[in-house]
Chain A
């Protein structure tokens, strides 16, 4: 089906090229960092003259601009780099491969106003946040481990799962509704150590973009956001090493040319050593415990010729937790991506990707009679073909995507003496295919469109036995399906549309609508997520989740783009959401789909963002006012109830102060309304114990969260090639006891009364990290 759509389109484009190219020529090329040879993503290429045409480099640093014959001045700029201008005589197609020098001197960046882009105002794209990897270094985080997931949670519209919880929530979505991709490969579990750290080692990351809305058509498969993380390519000019030694983790990264200016590699390694502290304990059970994670990022690229570049990248991470003689639990992601960039013509850029990724966990109980080993796996093979076509006023993007999923829900193996039986739950197979086309169209200088459509198909494949259930959860019928048979198919058309209108260079309004669908779902009836959460595919019982989102925004820049302000409102409708029956047993249950409830949801909110981008003092203030609700016929009398992550107010303030060349101070402050939770409204006695009576679901509130984190970075004296810095941090500087959970207990002073007891995890935590580079 998708092929049919795709080939005529492809031919049409070539045809289109040949007729419209008369007397017009194309300027194209790749923009790189002069020091490392890394391609620069999103660098601005601007042409002087009446047309004022400009473009941005794509994810591979490539750009193409088509103009009428003539002489132009081309300016290439990128935040934090020295801009360059060149005069070109466009009388034929021209290749312009340029390298930009980093602005080492702070003043250099501050004064060059033309270096400040107004892309946030101009682009039709809405709901996009790009994390600046440079400022990431100075934002304070827990135990000094800089972390992109913790940093994006400081942006409006993104809510953290809370201390000790995996996951984040975007505009009312659930934690499993975020598409998290690392070099295009899906990362199913993005957390280490039960959510205290993310799987992304900032040393190895080049670019992070988060789409909260207005997702372009090339992304699909999740409802609420896309977190697109790209790894460093590696320095193709010289060998470089960098690393850091912290209180609980150390990092080391090596990069260098394979062939100078043609190919490079990067390898980055990180490991925690909390268990070394455990080992120091005199207690024999504690010193035999394990608690660690490690991860490896590796990437290599090679430019075969001017038209072809190949990239291979991979990630491997593992967490290990164990208590001697009691249990072991480990989990991790593996991703591998092979990509080929091919330039068909100056204007047609293609990328072909082959991707493998898996997420797996193992739980071992070591007790003598209940010992068992349970393993679970989600495995994807993914093929992507993506084209970008650069025309005068249009940038077209179209392609194909096919992903094969295999889910092994659980495999239990036991010893002879174990009282637990071995069990293998039936594997599930699914095929997701999609075809998309989108167009970024500069209609006039003031009006920009980004519109497209994605046709998403999902097929549940055999082999397998698939059951239908009645409302009581009993099997009505079961069908056995042979290998390779398409048992159930779903087709969804996902329109994506964004528009921006510029009043002038510093003011614009934008609007967007997009539909997203999702066919792989996490099942968990716990209010916090865990590494053993189970994945299921859409099926005869589970329908694809659907989200429709509209958003409207006002964007304004001040003081020559030094200050950015934006205000966005959004409204989101959610369909086919999943919840659970009372006493649902989700693990190792082949009839798990009989335990589910289906309902709808809605989320709406206002996000305000004010950012100072340059100068000695920079940072941002974000505020979110929002509401997130769910509705299930079987829950809360069928009325809307707040989702757990419904927090009315969310404030974050980030400040970075560059005192001088050596000292940088920073702080972040967060405040948020407490989670929506269910408190008892009454109590009674059952089997001689107090039980609680609940009326409305999630009508109560946890106490609010508030935290101030501080950090200071001291750059070492410049001693040639070797550079080092010290980072000092204080997490929760106010030592506030933020709520982790509440239990209802008999009042220790008066056992005939009930009181609420709050548990908090973290007090004030100091940290120190030493980083180096040579």
Chain B
């Protein structure tokens, strides 16, 4: 809607909608613990990342948290101890099983953070491709994922898009509230940088990762997506997405299925 308003304001008269860099007055908060944990259904080194926040005006260099004790258990009695592979990166080779609930326990300097996530059933990513859309007069190629949503359960999806190995900064998250049981074509608009999205070019290599996530993680991504790309005064009032990790840690712990497909833009 915002785009539309700006579009209208450009069109309707000889005036200009314009952007400029301004100074804002905000305090730098104290460093907070950020945990990003993923357990997938592929046998691989599963990763738990622990970092800290920096102040708003600081450089984008995020301190790694070393020396944490990281443990994952499941509701079948298995126990996995993660080891620190590089600063702040804790790994353990294992494979998650859909239907199992995984519990995270992180101890950082005596402070304990816990979380749980139930790995949903996998929904097959059938194929990926490119669709043609006309967007405000421009033909645009857009990456798309094809799948069939199962009718008998509530499904939540999270996608990652890479174009020529560059990670797209948009958050792609969806549920089947309005599309339950249907053949789905999910379009993933590529965002090269913060400003504009020019679409894909012939010969671009695209890869799409699809994760079937649980409802808490959907809420997490959805809350984050509502804020990204829109600042204060538009969109929802920004707030930290509700984390499934205890003790006011930022981030999330997600047990999800994982699939990845590659394609070349025709």
Contacts and interface: CB of A to CB of B under 8 A. Distances in A.
Interface of A: 143, 162, 164, 193-194, 247-248, 274, 277-278, 283-286, 291, 321, 323-326, 367, 369, 412, 419-421, 423, 525-528, 530, 580-583, 585, 588-589, 635, 644, 675, 677-695, 697-703, 737, 739-747, 751-766
B124 interface: no
B79 to A, nearest CB: 27
A412 B222 CA distance: 22
Interface of B: 1-2, 4-6, 8-9, 11-29, 31-32, 34, 36, 51-62, 133-138, 160, 167, 169, 171, 177-185, 194-195, 218-220, 222-224, 226-242, 250-252
Closest 6 CB pairs of A and B: A677-B232, A285-B137, A681-B29, A743-B231, A583-B223, A679-B26
A679 B239 CA distance: 9
Which of B18, B180, B231 has the most CB atoms of chain A within a 10 A radius of its CB?
B231
Nearest to A283: B137
Query: DSSP class of A's interface residues: helix, strand, loop or mixed?
Result: loop
Nearest to A753: B59
Contact of B8 (A194, A644, A740, A745): A194
B23 A756 contact: yes
B177 A589 contact: yes
B56 A701 contact: no
B219 A193 contact: no
B19 A756 contact: no
Contacts of B12: 248, 274, 277, 291
B54 A683 contact: yes
21 contacts: A194-B4, A419-B184, A527-B237, A582-B223, A644-B237, A675-B233, A679-B26, A684-B32, A689-B169, A690-B60, A691-B224, A740-B234, A745-B194, A752-B59, A758-B19, A758-B20, A760-B19, A762-B9, A763-B15, A763-B16, A764-B15
Contacts of B55: 681-683
Nearest to B55: A682
Contacts of B182: 419-421
Nearest to B33: A684
Nearest to A278: B11
A684 B179 CA distance: 33
Given A585-B177, A694-B240, A742-B232, A737 B18 contact: yes
Contact of B24 (A683, A692, A756): A756
Contact of A247 (B13, B227, B241): B13
B233 A527 contact: yes
Contacts of B31: 682
A741 B60 contact: no
Contacts of B183: 419
Contact of B26 (A248, A697, A700, A755): A700
Contacts of B51: 684-685
Contacts of A753: 57, 59-60
Nearest to A749: B21
A324 B136 CA distance: 8
B7 to A, nearest CB: 9
B29 A695 contact: yes
Contacts of A526: 234-236
Contacts of B251: 684, 686
Given A754-B57, A761-B17, A741 B32 contact: no
A736 to B, nearest CB: 12
Contacts of B135: 285, 326
A692 B250 CA distance: 10
A678 B252 CA distance: 22
Given A274-B11, A325-B134, A525-B236, A756 B60 contact: no
Contacts of B53: 682-684, 693
A682 B237 contact: no
Nearest to A419: B182
Contacts of A764: 15
Contacts of A681: 26-29, 55-56
Contact of A763 (B18, B59, B136, B233): B18
A678 B237 contact: yes
